[in-house]
Amino acid sequence: MKHFYLLCGAQSITGHVIIHTMSDTHSVLRLRKKHGSGEPPDATAADGKQLVDTQSIRNATIAGIITIVVFSLLWVAMTSLVNRVFPWMTVVLGYLLGHAVRRAGHGVDWRFPALAAALALTGSLAANIVVAADYTAETFATDTLHILRSVTSMTWPVFFDEVLGVADAFYAAMSAGLAAFLANRHLTRQQYYALRLWRGE
């Protein structure tokens, strides 16, 4: 009889421990829900207008042009150093242009991604031309400016055929897409709500 009570008691204790353990495991595995307070952010339409007023296409354009010039010079120097041309470098140009346009322009609308993409395509073409002219100048033992000045309307098609290939066009398109993706400023939840209020007026 005692063995029966002991067995029942042991089973009861074991069941209690198992239930308690499962309950603890459930509480541990249960993720905490992250919900907001339900209240809108503390922002007004005036804050949104201030975000719009801080935009500057002019500053973004100037920063983009400076980035293209500096990048082209660095690319020429690297090409002369290693005696090789890396067409994927234009993707790096797109990354730099996206950050330059975002930091200088503070854009929050579609104009800045469009500007960054246009600058990336233009910069990729210009940088490829400068690099090719520098490489040609080394071949003919002359300077880069002399090669660029020697190119005429008759020789431009041949020049483009020699300089730009399918890979260059592909990397230029990637550069434009990356620049456009990075061009607009990153908004906080409060700034985004303020901008929506201003646009809704």
- Average pLDDT of the chain is 78
Alpha helix locations (H) across 39-188? 45-53, 57-82, 89-105, 111-139, 144-150, 156-163, 166-183
Residue 75 forms part of a structural domain: yes
pTM for the whole structure: 0.71
How many domains does the chain contain in total? 1
Q: How many CB atoms lie within 10 A of CB 175?
A: 29
Q: For the ranges 18-22, 38-42, 118-122, 142-146, which has the lowest average pLDDT? A: 18-22
Averaged pLDDT for residues 152-157: 69
Residue 144 forms part of a structural domain: yes
Residue 31 forms part of a structural domain: no
Residue 22 forms part of a structural domain: no
Domain coverage including residue 65:
50-200
Residue 1 forms part of a structural domain: no
Averaged pLDDT for residues 122-131: 86
Confidence of residue 129 (pLDDT cuts 50, 70, 90): confident
Residue 84 forms part of a structural domain: yes
